[in-house]
């Protein structure tokens, strides 16, 4: 039976060999052991060949990645890079910068060690996910009843076409389908509207872009009617019609008007008795206001003429 001293010696020797191998495999051209590691048993998405273990980092590169070689060699090494089986001139170090390849390219590096061993590793440049640069909202003045439209601006490092998925929410509840438009009937004054935009290309999706909550403000009334062009009898009349997107009551007033013209603050009915002395041009401005102070005005010129005597 092997004594304890002999067993301890063997174990120490095994540990020493393992530590030496580990230290050698961590050597990278221009990098410290803490910056890169190589594990022969790791499952890598790259092809390897030859007697010299070679690995390209990152393991799943894109056009956003500089490539770095990890190799275990006790002596001097030389590097040869190929792109789609063609030698890349001037690239003879353990690094290959990202401007040397595009998505779908097959990039390989062959490493020769001065001890005679040689190895090759090959990777395929994968897809770079797109991103959202900005999400402009329109219109500028959002309120109940108005459709909200977004036109995201995206970027794809590979130059792929970028599409977008949309997730709207109102007060934390999902609203509408996958659409860049949220119709005005989905929200009311005081609601909190949020949007998440997810960019995608033909090979996958990118990081979601989440907007801040939009609190729907008070909307101004809208004047729907137009002033009459004809006058019947001796009284000018105009029934102003308006509505409020929030359903608030509307108060009507005259900002500017000829003497004697009146408006019913509740109904919007304008009346003005006219005589031959009323001939001339008059600026009329009407205001429709809600209880929150939001106001809309309508301004026009009213022309009064009477036929000359004897006509």
8 band by pLDDT with thresholds 50, 70 and 90: very low
Mean pLDDT of 141-153: 95
Distance separating alpha carbons of residues 149 and 214, to the nearest angstrom: 13
Show which of 126, 153, 180 is a domain's final residue. 126
Q: Is residue 3 included in any domain, yes or no? A: no
Q: Is the pTM of this model over 0.75?
A: no
Distance separating alpha carbons of residues 270 and 261, to the nearest angstrom: 7
* Mean of all residue pLDDT scores within the chain: 86
pLDDT digits (tens, 9 = 90+) for 149-172: 999 999 999 999 999 999 999 999
Show which of 215, 248, 267 is a domain's final residue. 215
Number of domains forming the structure of the chain: 3
Give 13: exposed, middle or buried? Use CB within 10 Å, 0-12, 13-18, 19+. exposed
Which residue segment(s) compose the domain that 177 sits in?
131-215
What percentage of residues in the chain have a pLDDT greater than 70? 84
Residue 26 has pLDDT above 70, yes or no: no
Asked if residues 268 and 239 have their Cβ atoms less than 8 Å apart, the reply is yes
CB crowding 283-299: b at 16 or more within 10 Å, else e? ebebbbbbeeebebebe
Is residue 230 located within the same domain as residue 206?
A: no
Show which of 93, 126, 159 is a domain's final residue. 126
Q: Which phi and psi (to 5°) does residue 161 adopt?
A: -65, 140
CA–CA–CA angle 127, 131, 133 (5° rounding): 150
Q: Is residue 25 included in any domain, yes or no? A: no
Is residue 256 located within the same domain as residue 232?
A: yes
Residue 44 has pLDDT above 60, yes or no: no
What percentage of residues in the chain have a pLDDT greater than 90? 76
């Amino acid at each position: 039976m092997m004594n304890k001293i002999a067993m301890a010696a063997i174990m120490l020797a095994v540990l020493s060999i393992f530590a030496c191998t580990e230290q050698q495999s961590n050597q990278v051209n221009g990098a410290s052991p803490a910056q890169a590691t190589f594990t022969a048993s790791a499952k890598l998405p790259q092809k390897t060949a030859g007697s010299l273990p070679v690995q390209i980092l990152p393991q799943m590169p894109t056009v956003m990645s500089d490539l770095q070689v990890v190799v275990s060699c006790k002596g001097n090494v030389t590097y040869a890079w190929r792109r789609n089986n063609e030698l890349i001139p001037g690239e003879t170090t353990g690094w290959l910068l990202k401007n040397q390849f595009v998505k779908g390219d097959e990039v390989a590096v062959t490493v020769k060690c001065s001890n005679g061993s040689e190895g090759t590793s090959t990777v395929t440049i994968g897809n770079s996910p797109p991103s959202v640069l900005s999400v402009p909202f329109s219109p500028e003045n959002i309120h109940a009843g108005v459709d909200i439209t977004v036109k995201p601006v995206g970027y794809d490092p590979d130059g792929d076409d970028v599409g977008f998925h949309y997730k709207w929410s109102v007060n934390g509840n999902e609203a509408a389908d996958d659409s860049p438009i949220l119709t005005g009937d989905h929200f009311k004054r005081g609601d909190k509207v949020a949007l998440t935009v997810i960019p995608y290309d033909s090979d996958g999706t990118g990081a979601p872009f989440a907007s801040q909550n939009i609190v729907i403000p008070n909307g101004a009334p809208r004047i729907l009617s137009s002033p009459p062009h004809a006058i019947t009898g001796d009284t000018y009349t105009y029934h102003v019609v308006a509505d409020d997107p929030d359903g608030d009551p509307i108060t009507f007033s005259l900002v500017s008007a000829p003497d004697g013209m009146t408006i019913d603050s509740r109904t919007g009915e304008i009346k003005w008795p006219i005589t031959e002395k009323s001939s001339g041009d008059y600026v009329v401005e009407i205001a429709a206001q809600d209880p929150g102070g939001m106001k809309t005005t309508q301004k026009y010129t009213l022309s009064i003429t009477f036929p000359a005597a004897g006509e």
